[in-house]
């Protein structure tokens, strides 16, 4: 995971559309099983709290898996568990039956160590996202809630 202070680039039109959709995400629910920022080694040793939109909420209530297009998760990546402004947002947005990955700092897309933007459907700068989340392929690549169990 790249951290603030690294290289960034302006969001692509697709990434900007996702940014527009997540306005007010802090009013969205968080997983009951992980309601507070929790340490994540996979996200650079940061504390994560993940919010999800109404599409995901309906899927949880109706036991829908795989998640439908329009599902969005916003994970705040923090240096401590305190609830201040997050330095990095990691977003998963489902479109066309695939997950679009996006990592931002100050509304700018972070770049990986090779200078590739961390946004897209699982190649280039998002390779690490897909590799890690592939461990949870049976759960539609999602950590934080097991969709095969009642909520």
Model pLDDT, residue 145: 82
pTM of the predicted structure, to 2 decimals: 0.91
Model pLDDT, residue 3: 54
φ and ψ of 4, to 5 deg: -55, 145
Residues 57-70 have pLDDT tens digits of 999 999 889 999 99
Model pLDDT, residue 63: 86
Model pLDDT, residue 2: 47
Give the closest residue to 125 by CA, choosing from 5, 8, 40.
8
Model pLDDT, residue 33: 84
Low-confidence ranges of the chain (pLDDT < 50): 1-2
Model pLDDT, residue 82: 86
Model pLDDT, residue 104: 94
For residues 2, 140, 11, 106, the Cα torsion angle rounded to the nearest 10 degrees is: -50
């Amino acid at each position: 995971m790249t951290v603030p202070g690294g290289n960034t680039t302006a969001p692509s039109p697709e990434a900007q559309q996702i940014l527009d959709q997540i306005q007010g995400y802090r009013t969205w629910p968080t997983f009951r099983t992980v309601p507070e920022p929790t340490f994540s080694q996979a996200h650079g040793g940061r504390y994560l709290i993940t919010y999800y939109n109404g599409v995901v909420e309906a899927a949880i209530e109706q036991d829908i898996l795989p998640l439908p297009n329009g599902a969005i998760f916003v994970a705040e990546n923090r240096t401590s568990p305190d609830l201040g402004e997050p330095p990095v947002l990691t977003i998963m947005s489902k479109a066309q039956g695939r997950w679009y990955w996006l990592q931002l700092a100050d509304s700018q897309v972070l770049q990986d160590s090779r200078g590739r933007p961390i946004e897209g459907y699982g190649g280039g700068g998002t390779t690490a996202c897909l590799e890690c989340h592939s461990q949870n392929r049976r759960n539609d690549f999602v950590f934080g809630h097991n969709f095969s169990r009642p909520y």
